[in-house]
Amino acid sequence: MPFPSDLEIARQVKPRPITEIAHEMGFRDDEIELYGNTKAKVTIEGIERAERERPRGKYVLVTAISPTPLGEGKSTTTVGLAQGLNKIGKKATVALRQPSLGPVFGIKGGAAGGGYSQVIPMEDFNLHLTGDIHAIGAAHNLAAAFVDNHIHHGNELGIDANNILWPRVLDISDRALRDIIVGLGGKDNGYTRQTQFVITVASEVMAILALAKDLKDLRSRLSRVVLATKRDGTPITAEDLHVAGAMTVLLKDALKPNLMQTLEGGPAFVHCGPFANIAHGNNSILADRAALAGSDVVVTEAGFGADMGAEKFFDIKCRASGLKCDAAVIVATIRALKMNGGVGKIVAGKPLDPALLENNPEGVRKGAANLVKQIENVKTFGVPVVVAINIFPTDTVEEIEAIKEVALAAGAEAAVEARHFVDGGNGAVELAKAVWAAAEKPSEMTLLYPDEMPLTGKIEQIATRIYGADGVDYSPTAKKQLAQYEAMGYGNLPICMAKTQYSLSHDAKLLGAPKGFRIPVREVRLYAGAGFVTPILGDMRTMPGLNSRPGGEKIDIDEDGNVVGLF
């Protein structure tokens, strides 16, 4: 009998009233705002009150090896681990990002976990939820409209129309909007200029919402957003255009984290969704704080591999929040390690290469060089590591043992088989025990670089220590931009690298743990409101395109009005 789809599994479970879950976490009725019976927002006042009254729980990060296009199951492992921790008597909460509609209708489908380790209702999780992403898009595009409107009405501030830095956003993958011309209707319909759309989750507003600690901090960060410059390079901010206040108003409800639940009835926060290959790739600080105030342990996820989301979790998110991580989990699959070892090829939407299904422990050992480097990357921050082997039916005993041997030799606290996809929390009990033991150790988390280090020094620290590069090469444009940002007083900001997720390097073709390469920085972007500087490596794009057979082709409504096709 075929294994049921994620949607079929999710519909077998009757969700608990979300008020019960909120009360169990210690939140009062006046501290939650209901969106039906299965989801709610938690107020900032409720989070702050809970933090004052209770000690914070353990803080556990889930990251991964360099992923294949199919992913390694981080979200599923995050949910399964929390369910496993609840099984062993720990009060555990999940904290996840909200997926973008672009990947949901494009290559990915649903993103609420999988199998018997999901957040429900999965349709709500994947489709709109409480409208936060739409609010982010509205706030972002309002600022874009203010820029063009200011120029149209005389340009009192002297904005350089050739150096407008603020694009428009849309939360759908649409390559036709990557580079566009606007204002073709004559003077009354806007002046002509070249611009672009980026996907909403790549918006600086998304990154800001995820890092803001309260409404006042949100307002302050939005005020610092640089929308354009004058001809002499002087920045024009959202505050200069008197739009930061209106942006804050549009986001005041979106700032509150969303409370949902796992298939097994445990609490799950779902809030914000910045991409990790172009933004910081982590859910909101406020969601984590809410979870930490109401739990013994919180399991949160960072996007892509430990060189991407985890590095940004430590150097950007923890720097902003002041929170320290107690333990980290690196998710690995045998098929991905084989691919990193040069065995087979994985292409999204196509059948799995037969070579990846054959017993090949030596291929696993060769590709495990990537796992070793990712363990080293997390340990660089002083955080203990547990490896979760996300098990598939075709995995063999010899291949599993190869991962365990390599992981333990590289300094992991444990390497544990995880079968949460099939068995839910029961399939993650051993993983939960190992993670709790690691989290009980004294936290020694440190950051990779100090605030006062020059921007080039920070970039080189990440490139050499995390990616394993020999050095960094800057284009003339990048050199000029870095010097400009230092002169403008932004040299103390952390770095948010934008690069491929499929390699430790900038080149997706360099698998495993490549050596002898240098990182090319094409350009550098300033995100003053979010509070970081982003070097662009290689050919990164901020607006994805749809593939030849988008996942949206399968999504529909059946005769009973139920969503079908999310998987």
Q: Are residues 354 and 465 in the same domain?
A: no
pLDDT at 2 (0 to 100): 75
The pLDDT of residue 567:
65
Domain region containing 168: 133-240
Q: Are residues 365 and 412 in the same domain?
A: yes
At 490, which CATH number?
Answer: 3.10.410.10
How high is the pLDDT of residue 426?
97
Q: Pinpoint the alpha helices (H) of 488-528.
A: none
**Residue 537 predicted with pLDDT over 60:** yes
> pLDDT tens digit string along 78-134?
999 999 999 999 999 999 999 888 778 876 556 678 889 999 998 898 888 999 999
Pairing of β 58-64 and β 267-270 = unpaired
CATH of the domain at 394: 3.40.50.300
End-of-domain residue from the set 439, 466, 493: 439
Q: How confident is the model at residue 398 (pLDDT cuts 50, 70, 90)?
A: very high
Same domain, 420 and 459: no
Helix runs in 153-227, H state only: 204-211, 215-223
More confident residue, 169 or 543: 169
Q: Say yes or no: 219 and 319 in one domain.
A: no
Q: What is the residue whose two structure tokens read 């149209």?
A: 152
The pLDDT tens digits of the residues spanning 459-473 come to: 999 999 999 999 999
The confidence score (pLDDT) of residue 110 equals: 61
CATH code of the domain containing 174:
3.30.1510.10
CB 193 within 8 A of CB 261: no
pLDDT for position 457: 97
386 and 473 in a single domain? The answer is no
pLDDT digits (tens, 9 = 90+) for 347-382: 766 777 787 888 998 999 999 999 999 999 999 999
The confidence score (pLDDT) of residue 469 equals 97
The arithmetic mean of pLDDT across residues 514-535, rounded, is 95
Contacts of 254 (CB under 8 A, 6+ apart): 130, 131, 132, 135, 136, 209
Same domain, 336 and 424: yes
Q: How do residues 223-246 score in pLDDT, each as one tens digit?
A: 999 999 998 888 999 999 999 999
Cβ neighbours of residue 104 closer than 8 Å, sequence gap 6 or more: 110, 111, 126, 127, 551, 552, 566
pLDDT digit string, tens, across residues 49-89 = 999 999 999 999 999 999 887 778 899 999 999 999 999 99
233 part of a folded domain? yes
299 burial class (0-12, 13-18, 19+ CB within 10 angstroms)?
Answer: buried
pLDDT mean across residues, the chain: 92
For residues 298 and 401, state if they share a domain.
yes
264 and 350 belong to one structural domain? yes
pLDDT in tens, 180-198: 888 887 777 888 888 999 8
Whether residue 282 is found in the same domain as residue 422: yes
Q: Does the residue 281 lie in any domain?
A: yes
Instruction: Report, as an integer, the average pLDDT of 472-492.
Output: 94
Q: Percentage of residues in the chain with pLDDT exceeding 90?
A: 73
CB contact at 8 A, 519 and 322: no
User: CB of 469 within 8 A of CB of 455?
Assistant: no
**Residue 484 pLDDT > 80:** yes
Query: Tell me: the pLDDT tens digits for 416-432?
Result: 999 999 999 999 999 99
Same-domain status, 413 and 314: yes
Say which residue the tokens 């005020």 belong to: 223
Q: Per the domain annotation, does 245 fall within a domain?
A: no
Q: How confident is the model at residue 1 (pLDDT cuts 50, 70, 90)?
A: low
Last residue of a domain, one of 183, 212, 240: 240
Lowest mean pLDDT among 6-10, 130-134, 211-215: 6-10
For residue 29, pLDDT beyond 60: yes
Q: Residue 246: inside a domain, yes or no?
A: no
Model pLDDT, residue 566: 72
- Side chain identity, residue 386: V
